């Protein structure tokens, strides 16, 4: 696929990628983007003066970088200024300036950034962590407080594009000052940037917030609050269909479903450790002079269910599942449609296993993961396996032998199922290794979806036991599994992945039946009822619009099948059925029901 070159972009060929694998290239690209942000800041200083721009922060991101700053002396950045800034960036790149790291003392750093309150705050945080400040110099003129990493010289930053301007609160907190944020991206090849620019243009068309409004799927009311989406009738159908699917798939695999309340005593989370360590809990509330919280996760509730009855080794694995809503605090500036919410519904599972069963159970889970992605049309994915830091095993709970076996089980399962994977050394939590599935959508954007977390800690916290083959009490391990993750987030991703054109089985409206004349309305209503009786989701368009207008409306609503009923069809007992691709069939109602039902059942 080719896309037109974009003006204001400069490009120099880079051969480094030929010698890198994908992970190494992504790490290098992150350095390029981080350095591009520093060069952007330097360019703005040179063009507009340091007295007008107070730099706050500017990291690289998954697909680019951003720079947050406070404007002074009436300075206002606009997108019309981007070409001159990009030209200045090119000039700095061509200077081939060295980018060098320097470790300095707190005193030196405080003096260096004495007029910058944001850097002073960063320095205080660095001090509290017991670390030494590091700065990066670009040549001799520009310096920023930064932990890096960066490329070695400005000439390595090949392709840069400034994208947009937005407002952003300092630290994402609406109580803080509003800053100006400049978004940009950088690549090592022009064609990669062209592909990226096409992707973001297409992503705007597919934005789930835009399509959700157009298709009447969900809404967010200021009266209810940011981060609390509400599903409208068609959105409810979509969500309910997804919930039913995941429940059925898990029940086929011997998961037992439970229900737990939305609120629990705070002591439950003190026992689990979340109270002390989890900073996204909602504020507590008082009931009968006792402290309660809305639950941020389901695991402590499921542990109570496990402990309610004694267990033998024969009972394990015990798979407890729940489609449940949990509540987590997100800053108002960070909530985003369905992708980041404060009330999220999870397809949560906690499987209690003997240590000897870990490998087999992980294999079963990976099979379900593959089946899930195949069902929803995700074909490009990889696993990130988070493992111990082997140099510091003492900080992890559980024996070396158990960890060795657990980590080996995770990696071998991905190999058996031919899933590409990479190792995140030292990224495991102290209580167990995990798998995170990284999935690319139709636009090539990567999302983290499924998580499989092995846990040796909570069985200790909650004194979970089973009676082993020798009649002695033993500790199970727990597998925390969310196949879809957050249903809300998964739906947001699906809306964009499909561009709102859902497969037949998932579509809120599967058939739109349009009448040609008023004379056939009664017959049309009978057909609609017959389709509904066959569990086909159908809507009748008996409006006064022309047939071409009715057809256009169905296309805009992305309905999978558009059916037409006129006097001719009524006389012959047939209906005309047309799919999104324009293929048209003339069938009896019974034949249409059979065809639609078979396609729905196939999940294609």
Average pLDDT over residues 304-317: 96
Report percent pLDDT > 90 for the chain: 73
Q: Give one DSSP letter per residue of 386-436, joined into a string.
A: EE--GGGGGGSSS-HHHHHHHHHHHHHHHHHTT--EEEEET-SBTTB-EEE
Residue of higher predicted confidence among 264 and 96: 96
**162 occurs within a structural domain:** yes
Report percent pLDDT > 70 for the chain: 96
In terms of Cα–Cα distance, which of 337, 324, 339 is closest to 294? 324
240 and 333 belong to one structural domain:
yes
Pairing type for strands 318-327 and 256-257 reads parallel
Which residue of the set 42, 90, 215, 346 is catalytic?
A: 346
> What pLDDT, on the 0 to 100 scale, is given for residue 2?
34
- pLDDT tier at 55 (50, 70, 90 boundaries)? very high
| 439: pLDDT strictly greater than 50 | yes
| 4: pLDDT strictly greater than 80 | no
Last residue of a domain, one of 457, 475, 498: 498
Q: Give one DSSP letter per residue of 133-164, joined into a string.
A: -EEEEETTTEEEE------SBGGG--EEEEEE
Average pLDDT over residues 567-591: 90
**4 occurs within a structural domain:** no
**378 occurs within a structural domain:** no
> What pLDDT, on the 0 to 100 scale, is given for residue 187?
93
315 and 458 belong to one structural domain:
yes
Asked if 299 is an active-site residue, the reply is yes
482 and 556 belong to one structural domain:
no
| 406: pLDDT strictly greater than 90 | no
**468 occurs within a structural domain:** yes
| 390: pLDDT strictly greater than 60 | yes
Provide the number of structural domains found in the chain.
3
> What pLDDT, on the 0 to 100 scale, is given for residue 19?
62
Which residue of the set 52, 150, 208, 434 is catalytic?
A: 434
The residues, ordered by sequence, that sit 6+ positions from 100 with a Cβ below 8 Å of its Cβ are 136, 137
Query: Residue 228's CB: how many other CB atoms inside 10 A?
Result: 13
| 604: pLDDT strictly greater than 90 | no
526 and 478 belong to one structural domain:
no
Task: Write out pLDDT tens, residues 517-561.
Answer: 999 999 999 999 999 999 999 999 999 999 999 999 999 999 999
> What pLDDT, on the 0 to 100 scale, is given for residue 16?
52
Which residue of the set 480, 489, 497, 558 is catalytic?
A: 480
| Domain CATH for 167 | 3.30.980.10
> What pLDDT, on the 0 to 100 scale, is given for residue 400?
83
Q: Is 348 helix (H, G, I), strand (E, B) or coil?
A: strand
Gyration radius of the chain's alpha carbons? 28
Q: Taking the CA atoms of 106, 128, 140 and 15 in sequence, report the sign of the dihedral they define.
A: positive
> What pLDDT, on the 0 to 100 scale, is given for residue 230?
96
| 15: pLDDT strictly greater than 80 | no
- pLDDT tier at 6 (50, 70, 90 boundaries)? very low
- The pTM is what? 0.79
Which residue of the set 146, 208, 299, 436 is catalytic?
A: 299
Contact 451, 434 (CB under 8 A): yes
| 91: pLDDT strictly greater than 70 | yes
> What pLDDT, on the 0 to 100 scale, is given for residue 65?
96
End-to-end CA distance of the chain: 26
| Domain CATH for 541 | 3.40.50.800
Strands (E) located in 208-266 = 218-219, 230-231, 256-257, 263-265
Task: Write out pLDDT tens, residues 159-186.
Answer: 999 999 999 999 888 889 999 999 999 9
> What pLDDT, on the 0 to 100 scale, is given for residue 405?
83
> Which element (helix H / strand E) includes 512?
strand 511-515
185 and 306 belong to one structural domain:
no
225 and 85 belong to one structural domain:
no
Asked if 480 is an active-site residue, the reply is yes
Token pair belonging to 164: 């947009």
| 13: pLDDT strictly greater than 60 | no
60 and 163 belong to one structural domain:
yes
Residue with tokens 């507590």: 284
**196 occurs within a structural domain:** yes
In the Cβ-directed half-sphere of 231, how many Cα atoms lie within 13 Å?
Answer: 17
527 and 563 belong to one structural domain:
yes
CA distance 386 to 405: 14
135 and 171 belong to one structural domain:
yes
| 9: pLDDT strictly greater than 50 | no
Distances (CA, A) of 380 to 20, 383, 439, 483: 20, 11, 6, 16
The residues, ordered by sequence, that sit 6+ positions from 83 with a Cβ below 8 Å of its Cβ are 7, 8
Task: Write out pLDDT tens, residues 448-457.
Answer: 999 999 888 8
Q: What are phi and psi of 291, to 5 degrees?
A: -90, 130
> What pLDDT, on the 0 to 100 scale, is given for residue 573?
85
Task: Write out pLDDT tens, residues 133-162.
Answer: 999 999 999 999 999 999 999 999 999 999
Contact 410, 433 (CB under 8 A): yes
167 and 246 belong to one structural domain:
no
Query: Residue 176's CB: how many other CB atoms inside 10 A?
Result: 12
Q: What are phi and psi of 452, to 5 degrees?
A: -125, 110
In terms of Cα–Cα distance, which of 596, 472, 577 is closest to 531? 596
> What pLDDT, on the 0 to 100 scale, is given for residue 456?
85
Which residue of the set 68, 194, 348, 542 is catalytic?
A: 348
**407 occurs within a structural domain:** no
Average pLDDT over residues 114-136: 95
Asked if 146 is an active-site residue, the reply is no
CA distance 564 to 586: 10
- pLDDT tier at 12 (50, 70, 90 boundaries)? very low
| 424: pLDDT strictly greater than 70 | yes
Q: Is 509 helix (H, G, I), strand (E, B) or coil?
A: coil
The residues, ordered by sequence, that sit 6+ positions from 36 with a Cβ below 8 Å of its Cβ are 65, 89, 157, 160, 184, 186
**481 occurs within a structural domain:** yes
> What pLDDT, on the 0 to 100 scale, is given for residue 148?
92
247 and 188 belong to one structural domain:
no
> What pLDDT, on the 0 to 100 scale, is given for residue 11?
31
Count the helices and strands in the chain (H runs, E runs).
18, 27
Residue with tokens 């079963």: 364
Which residue of the set 350, 388, 489, 558 is catalytic?
A: 350
Contact 600, 506 (CB under 8 A): no
Which residue range forms the structural domain that includes residue 232?
A: 214-260+298-370+449-498
| Domain CATH for 492 | 3.30.930.10
**436 occurs within a structural domain:** no
231 and 164 belong to one structural domain:
no
> What pLDDT, on the 0 to 100 scale, is given for residue 223?
94
Asked if 374 is an active-site residue, the reply is no
Asked if 177 is an active-site residue, the reply is no
- pLDDT tier at 7 (50, 70, 90 boundaries)? very low
Which residue of the set 33, 161, 295, 328 is catalytic?
A: 328
Token pair belonging to 15: 């051969």
* ω into 305 cis (within 30 of 0): no
| 488: pLDDT strictly greater than 80 | yes
């Amino acid at each position: 696929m080719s896309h037109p070159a974009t003006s204001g972009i400069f490009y120099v060929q880079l051969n480094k990628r030929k010698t890198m694998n994908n992970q190494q290239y992504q790490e290098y690209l992150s350095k390029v983007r981080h350095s591009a942000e520093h060069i952007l800041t330097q360019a703005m200083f040179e063009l507009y003066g340091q007295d007008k721009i107070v730099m706050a922060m500017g990291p690289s991101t998954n697909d680019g970088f951003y720079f947050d700053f406070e404007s002074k002396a009436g300075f206002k950045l606009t997108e019309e200024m981007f070409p001159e800034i990009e030209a200045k960036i090119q000039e700095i790149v061509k200077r081939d300036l060295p980018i060098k790291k320097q470790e300095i003392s707190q005193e030196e750093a405080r003096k260096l950034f004495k007029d910058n309150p944001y850097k002073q705050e960063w320095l205080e945080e660095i001090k509290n962590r017991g670390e030494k400040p590091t700065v990066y110099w670009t040549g001799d003129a520009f310096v920023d407080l930064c932990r890096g990493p960066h490329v070695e010289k400005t000439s390595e930053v090949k392709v840069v594009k400034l994208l947009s301007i937005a407002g952003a609160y300092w630290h994402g907190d609406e109580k803080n000052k509003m800053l100006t944020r400049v978004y940009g991206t950088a690549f090592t090849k022009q064609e990669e940037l062209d592909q990226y620019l096409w992707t973001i243009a297409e992503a705007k068309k597919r934005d789930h917030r835009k399509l959700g409004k157009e298709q009447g799927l969900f809404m967010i009311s200021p009266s209810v609050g940011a981060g609390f989406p509400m599903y409208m009738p068609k959105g409810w159908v979509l969500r309910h269909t997804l919930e039913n699917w995941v429940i059925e798939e898990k029940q086929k695999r011997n998961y037992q479903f439970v229900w737990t309340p939305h609120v629990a005593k705070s002591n439950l989370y003190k026992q689990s450790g979340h109270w002390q360590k989890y900073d996204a809990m909602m504020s507590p509330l008082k009931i009968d002079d006792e402290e309660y919280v809305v639950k941020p996760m389901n695991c402590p509730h499921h542990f109570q269910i496990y402990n309610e009855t004694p267990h033998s080794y024969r009972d394990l694995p015990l798979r407890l599942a729940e489609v449940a809503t949990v509540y987590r605090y997100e800053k108002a500036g960070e909530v985003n449609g369905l992708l980041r919410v404060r009330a999220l519904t999870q397809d949560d599972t906690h499987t209690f296993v003997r240590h000897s069963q870990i490998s087999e159970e992980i294999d079963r889970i990976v099979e379900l993961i593959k089946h899930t992605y195949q069902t929803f049309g995700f074909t490009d994915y990889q696993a990130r396996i988070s493992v111990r830091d082997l140099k510091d095993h003492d900080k992890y709970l559980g024996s070396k032998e158990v960890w060795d076996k657990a980590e080996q089980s995770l990696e071998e399962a991905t190999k058996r199922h031919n899933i590409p994977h990479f190792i995140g050394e030292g990224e495991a939590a102290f209580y167990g290794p995990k798998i995170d599935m990284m999935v690319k959508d139709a636009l090539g954007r990567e999302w983290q979806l499924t998580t499989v977390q092995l846990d040796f800690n909570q069985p200790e916290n909650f004194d979970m036991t089973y009676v082993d083959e020798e009649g002695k009490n033993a500790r199970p391990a727990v597998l925390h599994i969310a196949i879809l993750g957050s249903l809300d987030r998964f739906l947001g991703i699906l809306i964009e992945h499909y561009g709102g054109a859902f497969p037949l089985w998932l579509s809120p409206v599967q058939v739109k039946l349009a009448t040609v004349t008023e004379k056939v309305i009664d017959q049309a209503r009978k057909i609609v009822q017959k389709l509904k009786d066959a569990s086909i989701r159908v809507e009748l368009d008996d409006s006064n619009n022309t047939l071409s207008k009715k057809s256009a409306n169905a296309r805009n609503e992305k309905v999978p099948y558009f059916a037409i009923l006129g006097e001719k069809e009524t006389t012959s007992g047939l209906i005309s059925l047309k799919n999104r691709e324009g293929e048209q069939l003339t069938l009896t109602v019974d034949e249409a029901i059979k065809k639609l039902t078979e396609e729905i059942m196939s999940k294609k």
